[in-house]
Amino acid sequence: MRQAFPQQSHAAENMLNPARPRVVIIGGGFTGLAAARTLEKAAAEVILIDRSNHHLFQPLLYQVATAALSPADIASATRAMFSKSSNVSVVMDEVTGIDAGQRQVMARKSGIISYD
Ligand SMILES: Cc1cc2nc3c(=O)[nH]c(=O)nc-3n(C[C@H](O)[C@H](O)[C@H](O)COP(=O)(O)OP(=O)(O)OC[C@H]3O[C@@H](n4cnc5c(N)ncnc54)[C@H](O)[C@@H]3O)c2cc1C
């Protein structure tokens, strides 16, 4: 079986179906979340990687700066957003490199994550 996280045993690895193509999304901002939502029903295993554990709704940052909102009001746990998804795994890690030729993403804690 192909190892997505060879340098470290990872809970996400156990959830991946090796028979399905694997998609890695880097960043859980608006773009990454939209991509993951679009692929939620696809016949693919999706790994969403972000260095933080939450999505920040940046357009409302000024409301936090002016104390109209608390930081928690504009930040949502990324993992919670996909808790009901059967094919999206959320990984908190920092991507340090991409080898498009080898179809691999390098992440600080998880090591090499392969994709199709
Ligand atoms: C104060 C403010 C107000 C804004 N107001 C508006 C507005 O009113 N309307 C509007 O349309 N747009 C607004 N924007 C712009 C909008 O927020 C951005 O265009 C949008 O967030 C870009 O989305 P993105 O997914 O490309 O990047 P981001 O939302 O920045 O997401 C990138 C994600 O990638 C992660 N990441 C980055 N590097 C790595 C790495 N190496 N490894 C792992 N994870 C990584 C980050 O943690 C982050 O979660 C505003 C921006 C700011 C800062």
Range 37-59 average pLDDT: 96
Does pLDDT of 6 surpass 90?
no
CB burial string 79-89: b at 16+ within 10 A, e below:
bebbeebebbb
Query: What pLDDT does residue 17 have?
Result: 85
Looking at 8-12, 58-62, 66-70, 83-87, which range is the least confident one? 8-12
Residue 16 CB partners (closer than 8 Å, separation 6+): 4, 22, 45, 47, 89
Domain extent listing, the chain: 11-114
Given this model, what pLDDT does residue 1 score? 44
User: Is the shortest distance between the CB of 27 and ligand 1 below 6 Å?
Assistant: yes
Residues 32 and 26 sit within 8 Å (Cβ to Cβ): yes
Helices in the chain by DSSP H: which ranges? 11-15, 30-38, 61-65, 78-81
Residue of the nearest CA to atom 31 in ligand 1?
29
The CB of 58 under 6 Å from ligand 1? The reply is: yes
Structural Rg of the chain based on CA atoms:
15
CATH for the 11-114 domain, from 3.40.50.700, 3.30.70.2740, 3.40.50.300, 3.50.50.60: 3.50.50.60
Q: What percent of the chain has pLDDT above 90?
A: 84
Gap from CA of 55 to ligand 1 centroid (Å): 9
